Amino acid sequence: QVQLVESGGGLVQAGGSLRLSCAASGRTYVMGWFRQAPGKEREFVAAISRSGSSTYYIDSVKGRFTISRDNAKNTGYLQMNSLKPEDTAVYLCAATRWPGVVTTTDYTYWGQGTQVTVSS
């Protein structure tokens, strides 16, 4: 069992930047980021393959967010630039137990979430 712990959330003004980290207790394959605002459905944001060679983003964050990982540290990252109030949510990281593609929906491990609040 792999535990995931997110960090780096906080309060920023619109147009600002934030870098989220996801520390894993063991090996992960595909890593992804999701977000959930109060009263809203959980939304997929981005994913990255084990090697980092493949990434996948939803249209609303393309060009603004960058997903990356450092396997030597068992850590994934989500660099968020040009933040908008609509990005406000609890951000959760997730990971698969087995190799897969970045479009997978088969996430096994989940973090507890970190709050990102973007003010206008």
Q: Note the pLDDT of residue 30.
A: 98
- pLDDT bucket at 117, cuts 50 / 70 / 90: very high
The residue behind tokens 């990255």 is: 48
Distance, CA of 97 to CA of 64 (rounded, Å): 28
Residue 4: its H or E element: strand 4-7
pLDDT digits (tens, 9 = 90+) for 46-58: 999 999 999 999 9
Q: State the pLDDT at residue 110.
A: 98
Model confidence over 22-37: pLDDT tens digits? 999 999 999 999 999 9
pLDDT for 116 equals 98
Averaged pLDDT, 7-19: 98
